[in-house]
Amino acid sequence: MKHFIIYAILSVFIIFLSVSFYFAIEEYVVDREFGKCYVSIQSLKKDLLEVESDAVSPKEMVLLSTDKVSLNMDVTRIEIDNIPTPTYMPGLYKDGEETVSITYFGQETNGYKVSPSGKHVGFYYDNGAKTGYHGDIALGIMDVETRKVNTIYEGGFKTSNWEWAGDEHVVVQYGCGTYCMYAYKINIKNGKVESEYFVYPKL
């Protein structure tokens, strides 16, 4: 019995030493890698700050040390003069030397059109994140003064172009098959479809 107890104690002691040795090695490896990274960072920092022996500004250092990323801006922050001309390509505008992608809640936008009075701006935006279907789009109408956006139409990938029909209505066209186009006349105040009809074929 005494030998068994001694053997058990020795076994526990050996296991303890093995575990301690393992963690000591792990700590050594981590410290060594951290040291290498720290030296590399310090070297890079020195190179960035000593371009031709002249110190650069923090902004210049960021530009030197990072890749250029695309800029996004929500449509509610865009000045009316920067609203893109009617196009169904992704909404973009130039801000100095930067090209800014115009989004709505992070979603791609296009098809911008200003109402006849200039009080509203309509645009399509990608609605797939909400519906779960790629290609689904929605039509948002933004009040230029308040910058509030009201979504008045949601449709699938067959949605075609849209137009203003006065200041209070829009007409959205929807592909319904080969040589077939349907249209909805929608009130922008309440989003209700007030009339619908075939654009072609004429029935």
Residue 53, pLDDT score: 43
pLDDT digits (tens, 9 = 90+) for 125-181: 999 999 999 889 999 999 999 999 999 999 999 999 999 999 999 999 999 999 999
Task: Please give the single-letter amino acid code of residue 127.
Answer: N
Q: Using N-to-C axis directions, what is the helix angle for 58-65 and 2-49, rounded to 10°?
A: 110
pLDDT digits (tens, 9 = 90+) for 64-84: 333 344 588 888 988 877 777
Residue 202, pLDDT score: 82
Residue 6, pLDDT score: 61
Q: For the whole model, what pTM was predicted?
A: 0.64
Residue 132, pLDDT score: 92
Judged by DSSP in three states, 69 sits in: coil
Closest CA to 185 of 200, 203, 164, 201: 164
Instruction: Flag whether pLDDT at 117 surpasses 90.
Output: yes
pLDDT digits (tens, 9 = 90+) for 16-74: 445 444 444 444 434 444 444 444 444 444 444 444 444 434 433 333 333 344 588 88
Q: Compute the distance between CA of residue 38 and CA of residue 28 in angstroms, rounded to an integer.
A: 15
Closest CA to 174 of 149, 199, 193, 192: 199
Residue 44, pLDDT score: 45
Average pLDDT over residues 98-106: 87
Token output for 56: 């650069």
Q: Compute the distance between CA of residue 182 and CA of residue 173 in angstroms, rounded to an integer.
A: 6
Q: Compute the distance between CA of residue 191 and CA of residue 189 in angstroms, rounded to an integer.
A: 6
- 152: burial class by Cβ within 10 Å (0-12, 13-18, 19+)? buried
Q: Compute the distance between CA of residue 184 and CA of residue 170 in angstroms, rounded to an integer.
A: 8
Average pLDDT over residues 84-95: 71
- Dihedrals phi, psi of 179, to nearest 5 degrees: 50, 50
